[in-house]
Amino acid sequence: HVQLVESGGGSVQAGGSLRLSCSATGERYSSYCMGWFREAPGKPREGVASIYTRSGDTYYDDSVKGRFTISQDSTKRTLYLQMNMLKPEDTAMYYCAARANFMGARPPLTFGTYSDWGQGTQVTVS
């Protein structure tokens, strides 16, 4: 398993930008699928972006496509989520997730796929 710590959340006005980071420590594997999820009050946790660390393949939920970009720095074992053109409906707690040695047709945005989770970082858009 890996331990994940998110950072970079905050408050921003609509139309603004934030970059979230997720640092991974612990066991090392040759490949992971990693994802960003969010959970707003009263709503289920939903996946917004995912990536296969070996291939670099990415996948986005339609709600963020064209506005959010997921990326990685493998040397730093850090995952990023660049969020541009933020909207009030993007307000949520954002979580980083990982699962080692998982491959499929595309990086999954399914909650149950992931085994390791961070504690979350709050993003508020007004």
Does position 30 have pLDDT exceeding 80, yes or no?
A: no
Distance of CA 68 to the CA centre of its chain: 10
Of 110, 24, 37, nearest to 70 by C-alpha is 37
- Mean pLDDT, rounded, for 36-65: 96
Whose CA is closest to 36, among 51, 54, 24?
51
- What mean pLDDT value characterizes the chain? 94
55-91 pLDDT, tens digit per residue, is: 999 999 999 999 999 999 988 999 999 999 999 999 9
- The whole-number pLDDT of residue 105 equals 86
